Amino acid sequence: MNHPRKTGNGPKRALHWRLFPAATAAFFLAIAVAVGAVAETDKRDRILRSDAANGRRLYSQFCTPCHGPKGNGRGFRARKEMLRPPPRDHANGFYMNMQPTVRFFKVIKFGGAKNGLAHIMPQWGHILSDRQILDVIAHIRTLADPPWTPLDAQNWGRDPFSDQEMLEKMLEQPPNP
Kindly report the CATH class assigned to 51-172. mainly alpha
Question: Worst-scoring range by mean pLDDT, 69-73, 119-123, 161-165?
Answer: 161-165
pLDDT of residue 151: 59
Segment holding 42, helix H or strand E: helix 10-48
pLDDT of residue 79: 84
Does the pLDDT value for residue 158 go beyond 60?
no
Does the pLDDT value for residue 153 go beyond 90?
no
Q: How far is CA 171 from the centre of its chain?
A: 12
Q: Which residue has the higher pLDDT, 119 or 12?
A: 119
- Residue 20 CA: distances (Å) to CA of 16, 17, 23, 24, 26: 6, 5, 5, 6, 10
pLDDT single digits (tens) 28-77: 677 766 666 555 555 455 545 678 899 999 999 999 999 999 999 999 98
Per-residue pLDDT averaged across 133-138, rounded?
92
Does the pLDDT value for residue 108 go beyond 90?
yes
pLDDT of residue 106: 93
Provide the percentage of residues in the chain whose pLDDT is more than 70: 61
Whole-model pTM: value is 0.61
Mean model confidence pLDDT for the chain: 77
